[in-house]
Amino acid sequence: MPGSTQSGREEDVAQSLYKRSGAATYDISAGQFAAILEEIQRKYQPGASTEQAGAFCANLRLEELALARACAGGHERAWEDFISRYRHKLHSMALHITRDGGHASELADSLFADLYGLNLRSDHCEPGADGVHVRRSKLIFYTGRGSLEGWLRTVLAQEFINRYRKQKRMVSLEEQTEEGAQFAAAEPEPVCTPDQRLESATDQALAELSSEDRYVLASYYLDGRTLAEIARTLGLHESSISRRLDRVSDGLRKRILAGLRERGMSHGQATEALETDVRDVQLDLRRRLTQDSKPQSFSIRKVSAKDAAGDGNHA
Amino acid sequence: MPEVPKIVHDRLRAGLPEGTGQETAHPDPNQLTAFAEQALSTAERESVLQHLTACGDCREAVALSIPPMEGDSRPIAAPEDESTVSAGAISSRATRGQRSWFAWRSLRWAALAAVIAVAGGILLIHPGNPNSVREATQQSTNTVSTPKEQIIAKQQAPAPDSALDAIRLEKKSAPAVRSFGRDKESGLAHPAPPAERALIAQAQSESRTAFKDLASGKVVGVAPSGLAPQAPSTSEMAVVPAASGPVMAAEARNDLALTGTQVSDLKTISKAKAAKTESNAPPSPQPSEDLDKQQSATDTPARRQRAVANMNAVVANSRLTAGKSDFPQPAQYPAQWAIHGNDLQRSLNSGAAWKTVLHSDRALLCYGTGGNEVWVGGKTGDLFHSANGGVTWTQVHPSAQELTLAEDITSIDVYSPSQVVLFTGDSQSWSSADGGKTWEKK
């Protein structure tokens, strides 16, 4: 009896989610939609209880999920809705990411093809019963965790990054020649190993920070993001990020200094090691050694006389 | 921002050493989207954050997937030399390079600093009698007559310090940007030494002349206390609102009188006077009440629609020109906002004239804008929203899971027309992803 009550409650929840999603308008049955939800829930919360699973599914973007799955299934009205809602947005998103009209169109069109399932790749197609490849839309991967618009933007961003990396790998020889870089040897990296104690103290200090603090540090100092951009990513106010950066930077310096002292450095040594990085000292030893080994071709007296004559001429 | 030692950059770039549990698989786009939209559970968010700390590509994807701000009207520039810089650096640098110092956000603080500097300068040059200051403060809080009337009344009284009192009265009635700098002058004022009497007398006579012109409607934007008109500068921009305070306050009162019944309701406030665009032009000698009567008599729905369209065009135009590096023309300034007690005021001409666009029963505390979206928060959870640059307003009552927002709203971030985040005095965070229809409390 309790089992039947529980299953009845589950059915009620599934029905209410189905109604909320509006999946019926795209000819998705309640059973199909329940199977979709179950698949998503298992992917992200494998061992969740019934209540947890219900709460998880209730927080999904059900309406957008139904639209995406209907599009992936080739539903005509769903595609009309999708195109009317997202076509222009997709182009403006691509423009925002690439900042170039041509690249934006290319990127957006490519994603559209992926979404429609035109790009038949080995991982995007399935052999049908009669051996014909069946197209598979990329929208099948949307799970409703965030908004569909946000998902499209993220997919575009990832595609842009992948393309950029591909382009970087495939620079033609002509382009290299134009840039004067053909066959140019890579700049020799100065091989200077910082003090191991400094490295380990820094690693320890960084590991003690929270993930969010490390993310803020990496975004600001490595990626060059603005405070506003970081704040929007984390859903915080810009001033909070500014204060956090101040606090984390100060704390980090103190922790590294303390770590260095623990590793046997005096306060002065620790401060010096932190402030003066050996890699900042630009020494061209080869040139210096070459200059030092040159034979003296004339005497200092001659140089002085020549300099004096030169000065006289200039005057 | 403080600099961190170079070794920190290197170790961050290298990632944390193995064995610290940071080597996780790349989150899928769904998780990254949910992370950017603050829709992940705490544990999942922590896991994604750990990965992002070590993975530059995913950080890049998250940063690129954040939607642009509504007011972000940067022109699209061709990418730089992509062979030497990373994709993220291109995007970030383009963002930074095209951010103008003359954007309204920067000007807001510049104007505030200039107002404080000018007010301090005036008090240093003309220190007054503390008793008269106290009287003036008391009078300004007790009296409800228009500032114009106050000035005229002060002019009729030939007391030697009346002009200085009027200056202080006028400064009291000028809008304080985000309620900063209230009543500071009363605390700073001190009796003038005898040696400065001659200087004060000269300043008083100049001030009287200026206020006569002001009261007759001939002069708008003359710096008080004998400050000579100078070439346009940022400091002058700050002086102008202070001097035009009474005119602005009078306009605000007229606005309230016109829409009094609607203000009392505060559910939806329609601004029938939207057609009346603020400008730098001096006001006509005709009393503003008469103008309002004429205007309200000839108001038609079509005219209102045209007015709203004009207003939107002005706001959009000013937003488009705000990002340019050259100094914008006065007619193209973006809308500026200031909270003055229970009122929200707006200026469309860089602070030369202010107009009350929203009145609340309780004090307003903060506002957030993005394009035409304006959100205003106040005491005990008062929240108002305008989707058309302050022309019409709707009161919003955020509630989530049978909880209603009843705390003071202290900060508002507007990310897009649909996404807004509120922060309360007790560190609550309320966010809406559908323009305020539904809310989530964190």
pLDDT of residue A176: 56
> Contacts for A71-77 with beta carbons within 8 Å, 24 or more apart?
A71/A115, A71/A137, A71/A139, A72/A117, A72/A136, A72/A137, A72/A139, A72/A140, A73/A28, A74/A137, A75/A26, A75/A27, A77/A25, A77/A26
Lowest mean pLDDT among A58-62, B97-101, B272-276: B272-276
Q: Please state, as a whole number, how many other Cβ atoms lie within 10 Å of the Cβ of residue A41.
A: 18
Nearest residue of chain A to residue B421 (CA atoms): A235
d(CA B430, CA B245): 35
Say which of A97, A211, A221 has its CB closest to residue B49: A211
Q: B269: buried, middle or exposed (CB in 10 Å: 19+, 13-18, 0-12)?
A: buried
| Strand, coil or helix: A129 | coil
pLDDT in tens, B385-396: 998 888 889 889
Say which of B4, B29, B95 has its CB closest to residue A249: B4
Q: Do B79 and A99 touch (CB under 8 A)?
A: yes
Mean pLDDT, residues B316-341: 54
> C-alpha angle A246/A248/A251, rounded to 5°?
105
CB-based contact (8 Å) between A87 and chain B? Answer: no
Mean pLDDT, residues A217-227: 90
Residues of B in contact with A93 (CB under 8 A): 67
> Within this chain, do residues A141 and A213 fall inside the same structural domain, yes or no?
no
Q: Do B36 and A222 touch (CB under 8 A)?
A: no
Best CA proximity match to B37, nearest among A55, A99, A52, A60: A60
pLDDT of residue B127: 63
Q: Identify whether A188 is part of a domain.
A: no
Residues of A in contact with B15 (CB under 8 A): none
Q: A300: Cβ–Cβ under 8 A, 6 or more apart, which residues?
A: none
Which 3-state string (H, E, C) describes B178-220?
HHCCCCHHHHHCCCCCHHHHHHHHHHHHHHHHHHHHHHCCCCC
**Ordered alpha helix ranges (H), A59-210:** 62-72, 76-98, 101-116, 148-169, 173-178, 196-208
Lowest mean pLDDT among A143-147, B131-135, B383-387: B131-135
> Within this chain, do residues A56 and A88 fall inside the same structural domain, yes or no?
no
> Within this chain, do residues A152 and A85 fall inside the same structural domain, yes or no?
yes
Checking ipTM against 0.90, whether it exceeds it is no
pLDDT in tens, B58-102: 998 898 888 876 545 444 433 333 333 344 443 443 444 344 455
Q: Please state, as a whole number, how many other Cβ atoms lie within 10 Å of the Cβ of residue B260.
A: 10
Residues of B in contact with A168 (CB under 8 A): 82-83
d(CA A230, CA A221): 11
pLDDT of residue A153: 92
Cβ within 8 Å of A, B 365-424: 411, 413, 415, 421, 423
Q: Identify whether A54 is part of a domain.
A: yes
Best CA proximity match to B382, nearest among B348, B345, B422: B422
DSSP H or E run through A280: none
> Within this chain, do residues A264 and A211 fall inside the same structural domain, yes or no?
yes
Q: Identify whether A148 is part of a domain.
A: yes
pLDDT of residue B379: 86
Cβ within 8 Å of B, A 1-40: none
Task: Please give, rounded to a whole number of angstroms, the shortest distance from the CA of A127 to a CA of chain B.
Answer: 25
CATH of the domain at A215: 1.10.10.10
> Within this chain, do residues A207 and A258 fall inside the same structural domain, yes or no?
yes
Task: Give CA separation, B375 vs A25, B66, B441, in Å.
Answer: 35, 21, 17
Q: Do A206 and B16 touch (CB under 8 A)?
A: yes
Q: Identify whether A307 is part of a domain.
A: no
Mean pLDDT, residues A164-186: 58
| Strand, coil or helix: B369 | strand
Given A113, A141, A161, which residue is the final one in a domain?
A: A161
Helical axes B104-125 vs B234-243, angle rounded to 10°:
70
> Within this chain, do residues A63 and A93 fall inside the same structural domain, yes or no?
no
> Within this chain, do residues A203 and A239 fall inside the same structural domain, yes or no?
yes
Torsion (CA) A275, A279, A282, A284 in degrees, nearest 10 = 150
Q: A218: Cβ–Cβ under 8 A, 6 or more apart, which residues?
A: B12, B52, B53, B56, B59
Residues paired with B374 in a beta bridge:
B369, B386
**Overall domain count for chain A:** 3
Per-residue burial over B11-23, b if 16 or more Cβ lie within 10 Å, else e, is bbeebbeeeeebe
Contact assessment for residue B143 and residue B150, using Cβ atoms and an 8 Å cutoff: yes
Contact assessment for residue B113 and residue B362, using Cβ atoms and an 8 Å cutoff: no
Q: Do A141 and B59 touch (CB under 8 A)?
A: no
CB-based contact (8 Å) between A208 and chain B? Answer: no
Handedness of CA A23, A25, A27, A29 (dihedral sign): positive
Nearest residue of chain A to residue B85 (CA atoms): A168
**Ordered alpha helix ranges (H), B226-287:** 234-243, 245-258, 260-265
Residue B342 has pLDDT above 50, yes or no: yes
* Max mean pLDDT range (A193-197, B47-51, B255-259, B352-356): B47-51
d(CA A92, CA A114): 18
Residue B280 has pLDDT above 70, yes or no: no
Contact assessment for residue B369 and residue B383, using Cβ atoms and an 8 Å cutoff: no
Range of the domain at A61: 11-70
Q: Please state, as a whole number, how many other Cβ atoms lie within 10 Å of the Cβ of residue B110.
A: 16
Q: Rounded to an integer, what is the distance from CA A132 to the centroid of its chain? A: 37
Mean pLDDT, residues A233-259: 89
Residue B215 has pLDDT above 70, yes or no: no
> Within this chain, do residues A63 and A82 fall inside the same structural domain, yes or no?
no
CB-based contact (8 Å) between B144 and chain A? Answer: no
The token pair that represents A228 in the structure block = 């506003």
pLDDT of residue B385: 92
CB-based contact (8 Å) between B39 and chain A? Answer: yes
In this prediction, residue A155 has a pLDDT band, given cuts at 50, 70 and 90, of: very high
> Within this chain, do residues A82 and A157 fall inside the same structural domain, yes or no?
yes
| Strand, coil or helix: B364 | strand
Residue B180 has pLDDT above 50, yes or no: no
Q: Do A226 and B96 touch (CB under 8 A)?
A: yes
Residues paired with B358 in a beta bridge:
B344
Q: Identify whether A20 is part of a domain.
A: yes
The token pair that represents A181 in the structure block = 């870089």
Say which of A93, A154, A221 has its CB closest to residue B9: A221
Say which of A151, A179, A245 has its CB closest to residue B30: A151
> Within this chain, do residues A142 and A84 fall inside the same structural domain, yes or no?
yes
Q: Which of B1, B3, B7 to mutate: most A Cβ within 10 Å?
A: B7
Number of H helices, E strands in chain A: 15, 2
Residues of A in contact with B11 (CB under 8 A): 199, 202-203, 206
Say which of B1, B7, B413 has its CB closest to residue A194: B7
Contact assessment for residue B66 and residue B37, using Cβ atoms and an 8 Å cutoff: no
Nearest residue of chain A to residue B32 (CA atoms): A154
Given A22, A42, A70, which residue is the final one in a domain?
A: A70
Residues paired with B404 in a beta bridge:
B399
Contact assessment for residue B370 and residue B402, using Cβ atoms and an 8 Å cutoff: no
d(CA B123, CA B128): 8
Q: Identify whether A5 is part of a domain.
A: no
